[in-house]
Amino acid sequence: MKILVTGGAGFVGSHIVKRLIELNHTVVTLDDLSTGRHSFLVDVMNHHNHTFVNGSVLNRELLESLIEQSELVFHLAAVLGVKNTVENPLKVIEGNIDGTRNVLALAYPRNKKVIFSSTSEVYGKNDQLPFNENSSRVLGPTTTQRWCYATAKALDEHLCFAYAQQGLPVTVVRYFNAYGPRAMASQYGGVIPKFITSALKGEPLTVYGDGSQTRCFTYIDDMVSGTLSCMDHRFNNEVFNIGKDQVLTINELAAKIKTLTQSSSPIIHIPYDAAYGKGYEDTPNRIPDMTKANKLLNFYPLIDIEEGLRKTIAWYQTELENDQV
C-alpha cells in the first residue's frame, strides 16, 4: 500500500514509518523537521520503498500532491508540549487545527483513509477513572492557556468525525504517554526522557508538584502496533484509546528510573507555578480504559514499564556517548 505519514520524522512517526517499511508498504514521510530529525529515519531513509519530503502540512499544494499519490494517511504532524501551550498558544492552536483541516479537506474528495493521532489530553481533568472513549471532557477556563492543546486536538477530532459523517474513512487514536527510543528530552519533551537524561548526567530529577499525580506509560512498539491495527477499514469512524493501564505516580517513576540508571541524582520537587507560571493546572490522574481496544483491535500491550525503561535508557546511553542529547 502507498502510505503518507505526516510528522514521520518525529518520535512516534519515525517508529510508524519504520514498521510500515518492514511490512513492505511504500511510504512517503512528510516532516518540516521543526521537532523531527533525519537521524530518526536513518534505518529507512535510503530504502527503495521510502521517500522523505521536507515540508509542512500547512503547505496545501504540496500536501495535495502527496495525498493524491497515497492510499492512506497517518496524520501525526502536530505542535505539542506543555511549554508551547503556555508560551505560544497561537502556535499550538493554529498549527494543530490548520494542519488537520488541510489533511482532511484534501483526503475527503479523494476518499483516502486518515488515521489521526490524538491524545489523552482531550479528557482534561475529569476525575471519573478510567477514561473510556465516551468519557466527558473536563477542562479549565479558556483564560488558562494550559488547556489550548487539549482543545485544539479535540477540535481536530470533531473535524475528523464531521468528515466521517460526510463519508471519509477516518479512525482516531488517543495516545497515553508514549515513551521509548527517540523521545527527546527537550523543554517540550515528556517526563521519561527528561528523567532519564538527568539521571544519566547526574543532574537532579525535577518533579513538578508533589509527585502524587498518576500516569500510564505506553512503550512505543506497543503504541505502533495499536495504531497500525486501525488501518483495517472495519474500524472506520471509530476512536480508540491506545495505552497501557499500568499506573505509576510520578514519584514512583522518578525512583524507578534512578534505580535502573544506578544514578546518584537527587529527586527534587518544585511547584507548578515556578515551572509554568501562576495558575498552571495539571491533570491529577490519567488512566485509560482499554476495553474497546482490547475487544475490537485485539490490542494488548506487551512491554511492561520496567522492560520499556531499560530499552529506553540503553538508547539514551548511546546517544549521550555520541553527544546527541
Annotated catalytic sites, by residue? 149
DSSP letter for 41, please.
G
Separation between Cα atoms, residue 277 and residue 262, nearest integer Å: 33
Alpha carbon 100 to chain centroid distance? 15
Instruction: Copy the grid coordinates of residue 167.
Output: 463519508
Comparing C-alpha atoms, which of 256, 255, 259, 280 is closest to residue 270? 280
Residue reference for cell 534512578: 258
- Cell 514521510 belongs to 29
For residue 129, the 8-state DSSP code is S
Q: How far apart are CA 4 and CA 114, in angstroms?
A: 10
Which CA distances in Å does 14 have to 8, 74, 98, 107, 199?
5, 11, 22, 22, 25
Of 190, 182, 173, which Cα lies nearest the Cα of 299?
173
Give the burial string for 211-221 (b: 16+ CB within 10 Å, else e).
Answer: eebbbbbbbbb
| Side-chain-facing half-sphere of 291: CA atoms under 13 Å | 6
The Cα-based distances of 266 to 202, 204, 261 in angstroms read 8, 5, 13
Query: Which residues, 6 or more positions from 133, have their beta carbon under 8 angstroms from its beta carbon?
Result: 174, 239, 240, 241, 289, 292
> How far from 97 is each of 118, 149, 150, 156, 189, CA to CA, in Å?
12, 10, 11, 6, 21
Q: How far apart are CA 309 and CA 6, in angstroms?
A: 27
